[in-house]
């Protein structure tokens, strides 16, 4: 027989035990809540996670520093660019590498787009699960504009792997300013419409005001960070407390709540999106215009290739369309000059023996990126809070130990406390306000 769970051992004879999830729609298929009920009132609760566990940390310990980047995309898959950023800046800290100014500005741009996308998704799902389906449609419309900007530059909408160790993969699209301006303008319209629909809506207020209340002391004891911690009134934001990239040069506020209930978690995210849009406009003004793709100076082939009978000396090296934005003349502004962290320019790989050898050595087992021995921790402000990476290096091309400090884990660990004494219907808005992302929670 299977051993009894805690809630089964503590259950009263007259109460009823039921499972809420993992197949319940509001549980996203990745969480099981065992409830002890007296009619509709929750007497006790126990959460079971792990339905999306994929062995992230152990897998990363068997991949090279470059190749494990794609696995970070699948953590908080709603804002994967922030996961990329947290990981690559941890490795850069180990190696003493600093990304160029333009690359840092692009990183901030992509991070804030991801933050808005993350908050839109959270509040859209929360509103829909409370019956506000119109809000869901409005916010998904705004997210499409945000993802259009991301896709314009990275070539993908979710699993981008765009931010690389030492910089970014490619330059911004020539028409990125127009796409960004449209996204900011349309998102502001949606936020105004959503505020009009929900802020004074008696049904929404009844499901969120005074429901799922968390005190400052309890939030800190659970290790809460991000919008959930700030909803309790604590203004902790990694971008302010431990500035990275160019955040110390930008003007933005840290919204806080009053009593840490479901409504405050909604309100903080709404106001944070306004601040992110403000940051996007500031960063856009700081990024200098780059030469249009394909408009830069053509690159002469190497002497050995020019002498080949298969190619005339006056031909130019032209990259395939999937490499646009990563031309050799752009690399100084996009990636650190250290050859130990960056892949050689494709023009060199295609036309010179030295470039081809460097390319092979970068990806060969035992070669490539090899930080010095030691350990390091670095964190960034993610959609749910502090996303931190702790890496131990043994001097090889693979991390000896990699641990992720996932904000979702600490937040969901408090769910049992928040729903005890409430009703079954209160589980839905409370859980929705936490923004549980299975890939980040289970890993």
User: Is 55 part of any domain?
Assistant: no
Confidence check: pLDDT of 315 > 80: no
* 156 belongs to a structural domain: yes
> Helix, strand, coil: what percent of the chain each, to 5?
50, 10, 40
Residues 425 and 391 in one domain: yes
Q: What CA–CA distance (Å, rounded) separates 268 from 330?
A: 39
Q: What is the pLDDT of residues 69-126, one digit of tens each?
A: 999 998 888 899 999 999 999 999 999 998 999 999 999 999 999 999 999 999 999 9
Q: How many domains does the chain have?
A: 3
In tens, the pLDDT along 179-195 reads 999 999 999 999 999 99
- The answer to whether position 61 is within a domain reads no
Q: Using CA of residue 18, residue 20, residue 22, residue 24, what is the dihedral sign? A: positive
Strands 386-393, 401-405: pairing kind: antiparallel
Average pLDDT for the chain: 86
**218, 268: one domain:** yes
Give φ, ψ of 106 to 5 degrees: -65, -40
| pLDDT above 90: residue 295 | no
CA angle (218, 223, 227) in 5-degree steps? 90
> How far is 222 from 411, CA to CA, in rounded Å?
7
Q: Mark whether 269 and 130 lie in a shared domain.
A: yes
The answer for residues whose C-beta is within 8 angstroms of residue 310's C-beta and 6 or more apart is: none
Instruction: Let me know whether 272 and 397 are in one domain.
Output: yes
Residues 311 and 345 in one domain: yes
pTM for the structure as a whole = 0.88
Band the pLDDT of 16: cuts 50, 70, 90.
Answer: confident
pLDDT at 290: 61
Average pLDDT for 371-389: 92
Same domain? 309 vs 388: no
Nearest-angstrom CA–CA distance, 74 and 150: 16
Structural domain range at position 116: 68-290+371-441
* β-pair partners for 18: 35
Confidence band for 225, pLDDT divided at 50, 70 and 90 = very high
How far apart, in whole angstroms, are the C-alpha atoms of residue 6 and residue 204?
A: 34
In a domain, 185, yes or no: yes
Claim to verify: residue 358 and residue 381 sit in the same structural domain: no
Q: How far apart are CA 159 and CA 394, in angstroms?
A: 29
Dihedrals phi, psi of 158, to nearest 5 degrees: -125, -70
Sheet holding 41-48, edge to edge: 16-20, 32-38, 41-48
The secondary element (H helix, E strand) that includes residue 386 is strand 386-393
Residues 28 and 103 in one domain: no
Alpha-carbon gap, residue 304 to 308, rounded angstroms: 7
- For residue 436, being part of any structural domain is answered with yes
Q: Does 119 reside within a domain?
A: yes
Residue 96 is assigned to a structural domain of this protein: yes
Contact 227, 434 (CB under 8 A): no
Quick one: 19 and 146 in the same domain?
no
Bond into 65 cis (ω within 30): no
Residues 119, 74 within the same domain: yes
Structural domain contains residue 140: yes
Within this chain, do residues 307 and 282 fall inside the same structural domain, yes or no? no
Shared-domain flag, residues 137 and 217 = yes
Integer Cα distance of 148 and 258 in angstroms? 35
Q: Tell me, what's the pLDDT at 28?
A: 78
């Amino acid at each position: 027989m299977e051993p009894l769970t805690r809630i089964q051992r503590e259950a009263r004879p007259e109460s009823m035990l039921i499972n809420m999830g993992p197949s319940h729609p509001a549980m996203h298929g990745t969480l099981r809540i065992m409830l002890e009920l007296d009619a509709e009132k929750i007497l006790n609760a126990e959460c079971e996670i792990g339905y999306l566990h994929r062995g992230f940390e152990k897998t990363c310990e068997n991949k090279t520093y470059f190749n494990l980047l794609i696995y970070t995309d699948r953590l908080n898959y709603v804002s994967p660019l922030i996961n990329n950023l947290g990981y690559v800046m941890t490795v850069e800290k180990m190696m003493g590498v600093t990304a160029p100014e333009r690359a840092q500005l692009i990183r901030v741009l992509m991070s804030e787009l991801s933050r808005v996308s993350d908050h839109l998704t959270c509040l859209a799902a929360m509103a829909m699960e409370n019956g506000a389906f119109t809000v869901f449609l409005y916010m998904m419309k705004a997210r499409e504009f945000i993802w259009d900007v991301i896709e314009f530059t990275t070539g993908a909408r979710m699993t981008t792997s765009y931010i690389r160790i030492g910089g970014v993969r490619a330059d911004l699209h020539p028409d990125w300013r127009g796409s960004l301006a449209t996204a900011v303008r349309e998102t502001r319209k949606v936020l105004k419409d959503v505020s009009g629909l929900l802020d004074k809506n008696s049904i929404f207020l009844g499901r969120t005001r005074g429901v799922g209340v968390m005190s400052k002391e309890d939030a800190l004891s659970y290790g809460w960070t991000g919008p959930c911690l700030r909803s309790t009134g604590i203004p902790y934001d990694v971008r302010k407390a431990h500035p990275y990239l160019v955040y110390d040069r930008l003007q933005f506020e840290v919204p806080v709540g009053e009593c840490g209930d479901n409504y405050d978690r909604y309100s903080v995210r709404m106001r944070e999106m306004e601040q992110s849009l403000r940051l996007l406009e500031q960063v856009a003004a700081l990024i200098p215009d780059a030469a249009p793709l394909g408009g830069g100076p053509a690159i002469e082939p190497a002497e050995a290739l020019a002498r080949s009978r298969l190619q005339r000396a006056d031909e130019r090296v032209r990259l395939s369309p999937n490499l646009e934005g990563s031309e050799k003349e752009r690399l100084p502004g996009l990636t650190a000059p250290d050859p130990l962290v960056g892949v050689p320019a494709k023009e060199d790989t295609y036309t010179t023996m030295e470039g081809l050898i460097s390319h092979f050595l970068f990806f060969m087992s035992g070669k490539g990126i090899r930080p010095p021995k030691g350990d390091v921790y670095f964190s960034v402000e993610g959609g749910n809070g502090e996303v931190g990476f702790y890496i131990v290096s043994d001097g090889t091309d693979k991390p000896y130990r990699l641990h992720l400090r996932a904000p979702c884990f600490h937040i969901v660990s408090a769910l049992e406390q928040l729903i005890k004494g409430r009703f079954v219907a209160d589980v839905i808005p409370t859980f929705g306000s936490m923004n549980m992302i299975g890939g980040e929670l289970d890993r």
